[in-house]
Amino acid sequence: MFGADVTPATTILGPGADADVAIVGGIHGDEPSGVRAVRRVIESNPSFQRPVKLVIANPPAVASHRRYLDVDMNRVFPGDPASPDQERRLAAATLKEINDCSVVLSLHSTHSYDDPIALVSRSNPPVQGLAARLPVSHIVDPTPCFDGAFPACAPVVSVEAGRQLTEEATENATDIVAAFLRLTDALPGEVPTTDSTYYTVTDAVSKQPDTDYELQIENFEVVEPGTTVARSEDREYVADDAFVPILMSETGYDDILGYKGETAGTSLSSARATWGVPPRSSD
């Protein structure tokens, strides 16, 4: 069905062909909320004030309802157009698609949390400014642990819209898209401000293969030393140090439970100070 020349599915809406903003869904084929949010935009064809590029990044995985077919696309950016792995070629092709864009919204969903979470790299200050104005209360810099992720290679704010395969995730993704289109002046209108907390990922939490875990903690609620983090049939995993659980789930990843992090700030400026980003005059 899909030959070696498989490409992202791209639509440009609005006046002109040179889109400076893009929305990407379907990097992971088993996260339909982002794909649905992108398709809703295409189907409703709003009167955009500027051109917007809409991209389904991994059509074969979306058609198969699988996270990926060869390799996890969100771990292999910038990709390789000559690779035998489909997702490495698609990663390279997706980067090429958004090459002229100054800001990109990438939509995902998770096993870990109901509410949207934004991920931005500390090396992309303008994208942080945009993430700070999205209706998202948790904003995470994953830089130390997200080698090969899309936001590490391009001006991308990645949003985990909610729990995978839920209608709520699709509604959240649709709301985030609407806010993004207003913040980028593709659509008129204001976006109400949201109070956000900023975090830095510090470490991945590994898990044993073929072991079932029961998590005993809540994401974004500080874990104190001595707290039981997870239980398996024969073991209890107790925290040595305090940390903030981020994207932790029992089934989200094959090899890790999720991530440890720490709070970077309760405002964009305080988070930037923690991340070593120079203050900016405007966002």
**Residues making contact with Zn ion (CB under 5 A):** 28, 31, 108
Q: What's the closest the beta carbon of residue 201 comes to Zn ion, in angstroms?
A: 15
Residue 106 and residue 156 in contact, taking contact as beta carbons nearer than 8 Å = yes
Angle between helices 268-275 and 125-133 (to 10 degrees): 150
- Taking the complex as a whole, how short is the minimal distance between the CB of residue 251 and Zn ion, in angstroms? 13
Burial 104-129 (b: 16+ CB within 10 A, else e): bbbbbbbbbbebbbbbbbbebbebbb
- What is the nearest approach in angstroms of Zn ion to the Cβ of residue 28? 4
The Cα–Cα gap between 68 and 117 comes to 22
Cα torsion through 257, 203, 263, 22, rounded to 10: -80
**By C-beta, is 23 or 229 nearer to Zn ion?**
23
User: How far is 12 from 19, CA to CA, in rounded Å?
Assistant: 7
Please give the residue whose beta carbon sits closest to Zn ion in the complex. Answer: 108
Closer residue to Zn ion, CB minimum distance, 28 or 272 = 28
Give me the least distance between CB of 61 and Zn ion, in Å please.
10
Question: 74 or 184, CB closer to Zn ion?
Answer: 74
Nearest residue (CB) to Zn ion, 56 versus 186: 56
